[in-house]
Amino acid sequence: MRLTCPICGERDRREFYYQGAATILDRPDPEAGIETWDDYLHNRDNPAGETRDLWYHDAGCSSWIVVTRNTVTHEVLGSELAKDVKGRKS
Amino acid sequence: MRFSALEILKQGLTGNKGWTQHWRDPAPKSNYDVIIIGGGGHGLATAYYLAKNHGITNVAVLEKGYIGSGNVGRNTTIVRANYGLPGNSEFYSHSLKLWESLEQDLNYNVMHSQRGIINLFHSDGQRDAFVRRGNAMRNQGDDAELLSRDDLRKMVPYLNFDNARFPVRGGLMQRRGGTARHDAVVWGLARGADQRGVDIIQNCEVTGIDIENGVVKGVQTTRGPITAKKVGIVVAGRSSQVAAMAGMRLPIESHILQAFVTEGIKPAIDHVISFGMGHFYISQSDKGGLVFGGDLDFYASYAQRGNLPMAEHVMEAGMALMPAIGKAKVLRSWGGIMDMTPDGSPIIDKTHINGLYLDAGWCYGGFKAVPGSGYSFAHLMATDTHHEPAAKFRLDRFKTGRSLMDEEGTGSQHNLH
């Protein structure tokens, strides 16, 4: 699996650190309550198919990126800089 | 048919024509007392112990593929009870005791081989941690033995003791640890459950879970609807998808764990050996193949195959620990799908839906848990009370923060286990 960095292009998977589902960018309000925080921190859709996850280009440009890929085929479908995704209502 | 030495002799002398199939192939009935979704090791063990311990025999095990087609056939077959934390410690201790009588209990040869597992250490700090772990194991009533470098030189002379970066300083051994034949485990459990009246229904995928007013009523399947008073979800690897049918989101992310096997060679490795620094573990199967694996690929995946970076890492770790195996050719590699929880420990619990139960989140340690998980989950489903050895495997522990079982001490977060 090779990931596409929006800045550096297609690179070896080993250059990246995996953080997890991209929902981690949608941080709830500090006072949102235990249910919301539990859901944010622990529960996952965990789809078999297309997913969006957050990676850090550790051995490259040091960008946080959101990668869209397929968890069944390992096909990489696209990527964006996390700073462009964060806060955007999809 | 009951297996015995006499039966083997009789069949051998009559052309082996009298062997019968190990379990029936029934069509699903329209109603059962209990439905188990998932015919893997844990699901079959649950059905087996429901029948054996609780007299509940009007049970169906629904398997979307065939028996042995899932994670139970995609692991490295290691059986051990060398955990350190309360919760895990008593559970795996109980499971190992069940393994020790499983073959007699099932009248089935699961090739359980207590050849001993050795976890190597390479530094003073790691030695201290293993001494502590060994004491925890002995406090639990299990066996643990600290081996010196000299002990190891006699037992496993082929290790690279003088590796410049990770010299072998000693090991923690559990002699009761070992391996089992993974296919035989599910075949034996399926046969045992079937003999007690359980219907094992293969090629039957659950497509929906029927719930009315917060009470489970049954399931929809590719072979028609089936009603039941109680339904157990035992589908580790696919737990998120099946739980979603009941409107649940689980604290689980699915990851890939690769394993490898070489061509058969003469007996060389008599134990299960783990290399603490390179995340590498190895044993030799009875056919002679070296069976080994490493760490997760570390990204969400359902692909049942991994990527080359982790394969390369595992080979490097193996070569660093025991250079002699470099001559053996790797025949196959495969990936299992791991239900990874934030703290790396499993879930055996009720759900918020009456009559719906969950056995999930086995991370990379499900095989050795097969009998223990089935025993405890059957207890929960039959009595609605938690079985003591599995009482800490609660679904709500992430929300409350109580009784987290982070065996690696890395933090209760999805990408850290």
Counted across chains A and B, CB pairs separated by less than 8 A come out at 71
**Rounded Cα gap, residues B305 and B13, in angstroms:** 44
Point out the residue among A41, A44, A74 whose CB comes nearest to the CB of B303.
A74
How high is the pLDDT of residue A89?
57
Q: Considering only CB atoms, which chain A residues are within 8 Å of B252?
A: 44, 46
* 3-state SS assignment for residue A72: coil
Q: Domain extents for chain A?
A: 2-85
**Rounded Cα gap, residues B229 and B87, in angstroms:** 29
Contact between residue B255 and residue B297 where contact means Cβ atoms under 8 Å apart: yes
Q: Considering only CB atoms, which chain B residues are within 8 Å of A71?
A: 254, 300-303
Contact between residue B154 and residue B161 where contact means Cβ atoms under 8 Å apart: no
Which helix (H) or strand (E) segment is A38 a member of?
helix A34-41
pLDDT score of A88 more than 90: no
**Rounded Cα gap, residues B321 and B273, in angstroms:** 10
A43·B241 Cβ contact <8 A = no
B240·A13 Cβ contact <8 A = no
**Rounded Cα gap, residues B96 and B94, in angstroms:** 5
Tell me which chain B residue has its CA closest to the CA of residue A52: B300
**Rounded Cα gap, residues B364 and B78, in angstroms:** 11
pTM of the model: 0.96
pLDDT score of A90 more than 70: no
Please name the residue that has the structure tokens 């009789």.
B10
**Rounded Cα gap, residues B406 and B345, in angstroms:** 7
Measure A67 CA to nearest chain B CA, in Å.
12
Average pLDDT for A31-52: 97
The residue ranges of chain B whose pLDDT is under 50 are: none
How high is the pLDDT of residue B312?
95
Kindly indicate the confidence band of residue A87, based on its pLDDT and cuts at 50, 70 and 90: confident
Look up the ipTM and state it. Answer: 0.94
Which helix (H) or strand (E) segment is B253 a member of?
strand B253-264
How high is the pLDDT of residue B415?
86
CATH of A2-85, one of 3.40.50.300, 2.40.160.60, 3.40.1260.10, 3.30.2270.10: 3.30.2270.10
Residue B88, amino acid: N
Tell me which chain A residue has its CA closest to the CA of residue B240: A46
Choose the mutation target among B64, B250, B295, B302 for the interface with A, i.e. most A CBs under 10 Å: B302
Q: Which sign, positive or negative, has the C-alpha torsion B413, B366, B380, B28?
A: positive
Tell me which chain B residue has its CA closest to the CA of residue A49: B302
Q: Considering only CB atoms, which chain A residues are within 8 Å of B254?
A: 46, 48, 71
A19·B415 Cβ contact <8 A = yes
**Rounded Cα gap, residues B99 and B417, in angstroms:** 26
Point out the residue among B250, B309, B414 whose CB comes nearest to the CB of A13.
B309
How high is the pLDDT of residue B187?
98
Contact between residue B51 and residue B57 where contact means Cβ atoms under 8 Å apart: yes
Contact between residue B204 and residue B7 where contact means Cβ atoms under 8 Å apart: no
